[in-house]
Structure 1
Amino acid sequence: MTEPEPGLGQNRIRTLAVLSVPAVLIGVVSALILFALDELSRQLQDLLWDVLPHAAGIDPDGGWWIFGMLTATGLAVGLMVRYLPGHAGPDSAAAELGGSALPLKVVPSLAAVAVLGLAGGVSLGPENPIIAINTAVLTALLARFFRRVPARLVLGLTMAGTVGALFGTPVAAALLFTGMAGAMAGPGALFDKLFLPLVSAGAGAAVMTTLGGTMLPASIPEAGSPGGWDVLAAMAIAPLAAAFGLAGVLAFRWAHRQFRRLRSPVLFTTLGGALLGLLGVLGGPLTLFKGAEESEELLHGQGESFSTLAVLAAVKLAALVVAAAAGFRGGRIFPAVFVGVAFGLAAGALLPNIRADAAVSAAVLGVVLAIARDGWLALFIAVVITGDVTVSAMLCLAILPAWLVVTHAPHMVAEDDGGARPA
């Protein structure tokens, strides 16, 4: 066995310790920008969906207000994409989480359309634009004050810090980065490569928790450990939910091509907004917005019927497809969680002897896996949605048939060729 070079371990420890300073900074700034963007969107949402309709004597849950607001949001987003400097960056439909840093001049327009989409009721989450915004800002910031930090490392740490802030825990970032650790620079053990992302994610999570907690507040009341029938049901529900999610992926790829035939972003985002308005009228207020608070409301609701829950799942999936394909800037994970919650509750309505947390967590696992195509992230969110770590063994089994369903299916990315990608 070859002996390690003298001092190699000490040099690695020193490097990690020194780089922990910019890693903490990245996590803190990532969380602060996320909090500011989310708070701004909440204030604008209150104005658009509470203050204005009540001042005009209109029911904000009525069909005309929902249709009109989403159509107007689509038109406004299209005008911003067409005419603002930077054009709100690349289309979220053609990008997965992460990527190269955007120029700083793109940040204002991207932030504007992201905030408007979140506030206007568009069925997309904040993850894609906030990661892009944080990456642009922090790359420029560290290039000025920490010039010796590699740009690729800044990208990875920014993504980790933002994911940690989004979910209020560094665990999600750690799981996400286990599949990406080989891309981190330098030799060493896996945890060495995860060390700095965990520092950044931990700092981001701590700041976000201090400011306002997680952006995924939904959880199912605890019901004890799952039994044998629950495990079998989860292994059936997860692949069915994954297939349901893949139907949305295929529809998205077709819809994206059709929208782009209109060429002008003003036209296709306005049309997309109008279609979202019609879907909002059909599904009601629960199917609007990113889906985090709405998932919690659905989980703690009055126990809707199977048909109602099935409609909610279908409408939200259709809204996600339209929003992602029509040029709005946003992520797909949060609305995918709502689709999974509705699908799981519908399955539970058909199988009343199966625990709700087993059905819901398995369905969330399947839908998120199909939409995001990341097994670790899907497992993490499925566990978080239950608030009970004892379901993890059941979900580790349920993900196996679900992965077989999605492994060779196309990804929810417009320019994807549909081929299989490494797990």
Structure 2
Amino acid sequence: MHAAGPADPGALLRSRGYLQLLVLAAVLGIPISAVAYGFLALVSAGQRWVYATLPGALGLGPAPLWWPVVPLLVGGALVGSVIRYLPGRGGHSPADGFRSGGAPEPGELPGVAAAAFVTLVAGAVLGPEAPLIALGGGLAVLVIRLVRRGAAAASTHVVAAAGSFASISTLLGSPLLGAFLLMEAAGIGGAALQLVLLPGLLAAGVGSLIFIGLGSLTGLGTFSLALPDLPPFARPDVVMFGWAIAIGAAAAVAGTAISRLARLARPHIERRILLLTPVVGVFVAGCAVLYAGVTGKNWSDVLFSGQDQLAPLIAGQGGYTVGALLLLLVCKGLAYSASLAAFRGGPVFPAMFLGAAGGVALSHLPGLPLAAGVAVGIGAMCAAMLRLPLTSVLLATLLLGADGLAVMPLVIVGVVVAHVVTARLAPLDRSAATQPAAEPAPGRAPRR
């Protein structure tokens, strides 16, 4: 008997089993997107309670300047405990970069959800996208194991991907952006692209409808990323291309420094995770307090993922001096690096915020319009932090709406430069990047 050759993608697409997978993906998109929406709603409510309601309930009135120290100290202790004691260590460390493959086991889902929830509510500088992707994929795997015992590994993989697509269907502003993010991060191509993409897009489309419906029903909105209207952008010129090259190179240096610092600090934190994670939380709070005390701005510019702060920053950019923006970049960058090393969450939104803030600061200089600075900054910083050039271009241009096509050539240049320069700087990062996360030795607990 001859060995079976590779399956024909066309035959698989026409098979009854694949049609059943499509139906399952569409059905799963409903509860998984509803769970994702509920998670984001709880995070939003938790942040409001911690930073707006709780100080008043304690008799402090409006949150005082030092208030971020409290939630980040407590949050650090809770996240450290989740990583130390719950299965799965709260999900993968964001210091390793963006990952979309490998859905967690069902028993690891509580730890992933708890670590991400506390991280986001406490105000650490990480986003919800990576935990939502893990939760969506893990829930999909759980369901298919319950309804199809002994399901093939390929079917489980496709359904897990569909769950991940559904969980972030509107988070980035468009289901297509989420799809590109997942496909590029997972390196899906060739025949596998067709087989995974269709169920994923179907689940994302259904998920988008659920997000929109729940947003209308609850009045909480869809928790989607959106940018305000920017001044019209006509067309790029030679000077702007020069700026794109400079921004790309600067983003590569900054992104490499942030990632390298996080990877160098992580092993030391994980050796004494119950003690040092709260210390990192206090450091993140200190960065926010320093920025607010010096500039008079709100410490929320430094805290959180930046998803909700990005639009106000751009819309109110006239109220920020160059000095304030530079201090924001330093404080947010340090807090981002520390959060990557100790907490659990996603790296996408803080990278976008830093890129936009850098673009706003540089737009004060001659030859760089605001729209171009923001778009190139977002694209270049995402390329440096995520190592996903196609997704970085799309993130920076699709969010700009009508001006996106006009500014796209500049974004492409900035992203390519950032990606290439980051790759050249990667050897400096190799020892830290390849160092595994600290794990307890068999039969011996790590020091506390």
Report the equivalent of 2:336: 320
CA contact (8 A) 1:314 1:339 kept: no
For residue 323 of structure 1, what is the amino acid of its counterpart? S
Seen in structure 2, the aligned counterparts of structure 1 residues 323 and 188 have a Cα distance that, compared at 3 Å, is closer
CA contact (8 A) 2:113 2:135 kept: yes
Matches within 5 A, 1:41-80: 41-58=43-60, 60-80=62-82
Report the equivalent of 1:386: 400
For residue 363 of structure 2, what is the amino acid of its counterpart? G
Q: Distance in 1 between matches of 2:187 and 2:114?
A: 35
CA contact (8 A) 1:93 1:414 kept: no
Residue 362 of structure 2, aligned match among 321, 334, 347: 347
Seen in structure 2, the aligned counterparts of structure 1 residues 204 and 235 have a Cα distance that, compared at 3 Å, is farther
Seen in structure 2, the aligned counterparts of structure 1 residues 314 and 195 have a Cα distance that, compared at 3 Å, is same
Seen in structure 2, the aligned counterparts of structure 1 residues 177 and 53 have a Cα distance that, compared at 3 Å, is closer
**How much has 1:355 moved relative to structure 2?**
1.3
For residue 158 of structure 1, what is the amino acid of its counterpart? G
Matched, 1:368 2:347: no
Counterpart secondary structure, 2:66: helix
Residue 251 of structure 2, aligned match among 238, 241, 245: 241
Matched, 1:332 2:347: yes
> What do residues 246-282 of structure 1 show as CA deviations (whole Å, max 9, x unaligned)?
221121122223323xx23211211111111111101
Seen in structure 2, the aligned counterparts of structure 1 residues 363 and 189 have a Cα distance that, compared at 3 Å, is same
Q: Percent identity?
A: 27
CA contact (8 A) 1:123 1:320 kept: yes
Matched, 1:406 2:422: yes
Seen in structure 2, the aligned counterparts of structure 1 residues 10 and 241 have a Cα distance that, compared at 3 Å, is closer
Normalising by structure 1, we get a TM-score of 0.86
Q: Distance in 2 between matches of 1:341 and 1:178?
A: 24
Report the equivalent of 2:294: none
For residue 271 of structure 1, what is the amino acid of its counterpart? V
Q: Distance in 2 between matches of 1:8 and 1:108?
A: 36
CA contact (8 A) 1:341 1:364 kept: yes
Report the equivalent of 2:38: 36
Matched, 1:153 2:145: no
Report the equivalent of 2:181: 176
Q: Distance in 2 between matches of 1:251 and 1:181?
A: 25
Counterpart secondary structure, 2:90: coil
Q: Distance in 1 between matches of 2:224 and 2:430?
A: 24
Seen in structure 2, the aligned counterparts of structure 1 residues 144 and 363 have a Cα distance that, compared at 3 Å, is same
Report the equivalent of 2:23: 21
Q: Distance in 1 between matches of 2:380 and 2:432?
A: 23
Counterpart secondary structure, 2:67: helix
For residue 119 of structure 1, what is the amino acid of its counterpart? V
Normalising by structure 2, we get a TM-score of 0.82
Q: Distance in 2 between matches of 1:416 and 1:160?
A: 27
Report the equivalent of 2:204: 201
Report the equivalent of 2:268: 258
Structure 1 stretches lacking a partner, 5+ long: 1-6, 419-423
> What do residues 14-59 of structure 1 show as CA deviations (whole Å, max 9, x unaligned)?
4554322122234333322221111111111121111111223425
Counterpart secondary structure, 1:167: coil
For residue 224 of structure 1, what is the amino acid of its counterpart? F
Counterpart secondary structure, 1:346: helix
Q: Distance in 1 between matches of 2:77 and 2:182?
A: 37
> What do residues 50-70 of structure 1 show as CA deviations (whole Å, max 9, x unaligned)?
111122342555332122222
Matched, 1:279 2:287: yes
CA contact (8 A) 2:158 2:195 kept: no
**How much has 1:231 moved relative to structure 2?**
3.7
Counterpart secondary structure, 1:158: helix
Report the equivalent of 1:213: 222
RMSD between superposed Cα atoms in Å: 2.8
Q: Distance in 1 between matches of 2:35 and 2:411?
A: 33
For residue 176 of structure 1, what is the amino acid of its counterpart? L
Greater mean alpha carbon deviation, residues 242-251 or residues 150-159: 150-159
Seen in structure 2, the aligned counterparts of structure 1 residues 349 and 302 have a Cα distance that, compared at 3 Å, is same
Matched, 1:417 2:427: no
CA contact (8 A) 1:168 1:213 kept: no
Equivalent pairs, count: 406
Structure 2 stretches lacking a partner, 5+ long: 1-7, 216-220, 292-298, 436-448
Q: Distance in 2 between matches of 1:8 and 1:101?
A: 24
Counterpart secondary structure, 2:235: coil
Greater mean alpha carbon deviation, residues 8-17 or residues 298-307: 8-17
